[in-house]
Amino acid sequence: MLTPLAQLTRESMRAGLTRENLHGVWAAIGTPFDARERFDEEVFRENIRRLHAAGVHGIYTTDSDGEFYAIELDEFRHIVDVFADETQRIGAAAMVGVTWCNTEGVVARLRHAVDRGILGAHVGHPFFMPSTAASYRGFWEDISAAAPDGFGLVQYNTPRCHNYLRGPDYAVLQRDFPKLIGTKHVGVDFTEFMSVMADAPQISHLVGEGVMAPYLMFGGRGINSWFTNFNPRFVLDLYNDVVAGRWDSARQRQKRLHAFIGAIDVLQETGNLHGIIGKAVTEASPFLISTPTTRRPYQPVVREAVERFRRIVEEQFQDLQWPGRG
């Protein structure tokens, strides 16, 4: 049985991530690039420090918000080197995304994370085309074999891809692969989530901010959050409301977050997603050092849309703005 959230602290995960202790608010830190599209190590380190000082339970990089799709293996290794060095120096729980389009690429990334002392990895299925059941089974056998005992695997599950998993799939993975400690559950179908919780209650399911309060009420263990780059205190306050059973407060915070997510449409009107949107949202807050540059062919949100969004935030979401405190 999982430890109740009220009994867990962010310190409980520092020695290692398990099905029992994986929980809380995990910040999806973006990958900063300078004007010449080079990785900006100093900005990255500073933003890691700011997130940890704000109180998030853990930090992860090189998932969708970290623009993993624009980072080749050699640079991935450098980013993870910096990430591991800084998170270990300040005592922050850390995971990295290792998703790639073939098993060899996933394993190479996972092994480097292990070598650098990272605690766990988000693992998405190779995503270009659907595979057979035997192929998926073989993938998890290979990934599990590459991960040492004590290293936590978190399955990155998004309905945007055709290899989306549901409750019965997780029942099998939960039973056969003990190194799988959790999921990054991106779906927003509540009935489906209830099935996941019923079929795979032994692993820790972390969700998104759009469904945070209701999903945590029914067994979710925490959140993988892009909003922490705008205002981590608000997400932590919402998480603490849920843990303490302050449902009226949680409901109000969730409604405000829902309204904010709706306002982001102004940034998506040209078709942008994920880390590109995240960078534009970060620009509207003084919390982190913002670096709007993205890598070709992916274009950043146009300046006019960013300024329009900034005005919307100032006019409609003063209560969600970063208050300038840890």
State yes or no: pLDDT of 158 exceeds 90.
no
Contacts 24+ apart (CB under 8 A), 246-250: 247/217, 250/213
**Neighbour count for residue 91 (Cβ, 10 Å):** 10
Question: Is the pLDDT score of 277 beyond 90?
Answer: yes
What is the percentage of the chain residues whose pLDDT exceeds 90? 91
pLDDT, tens digit, for every residue of 12-42?
998 899 999 999 999 999 999 999 999 999 9
- Tell me how far apart the alpha carbons of residues 31 and 90 are, in angstroms, rounded to a whole number: 19
Could you tell me the pLDDT band of residue 130, with boundaries at 50, 70 and 90?
A: confident
Chain-wide mean pLDDT for the chain? 95
Q: How far apart are CA 7 and CA 131, in angstroms?
A: 41
Q: Would you state the pLDDT for residue 128?
A: 82
What's residue 271's pLDDT? 74
pLDDT at 325: 64
Q: Give the span between the Cα atoms of 126 and 96, in whole angstroms.
A: 16
Average pLDDT over residues 66-78: 97
pLDDT at 115 over 70: yes
* Stated pTM of the model: 0.97
CA 41 – CA 74 distance, rounded (Å): 15
Q: How confident is the model at residue 272 (pLDDT cuts 50, 70, 90)?
A: confident
CA dihedral 25, 180, 64, 281 (to 10 degrees): -10
State how far the Cα of 153 lies from the Cα of 262, in Å rounded to an integer: 32
Q: How confident is the model at residue 129 (pLDDT cuts 50, 70, 90)?
A: confident
pLDDT for 92 equals 97
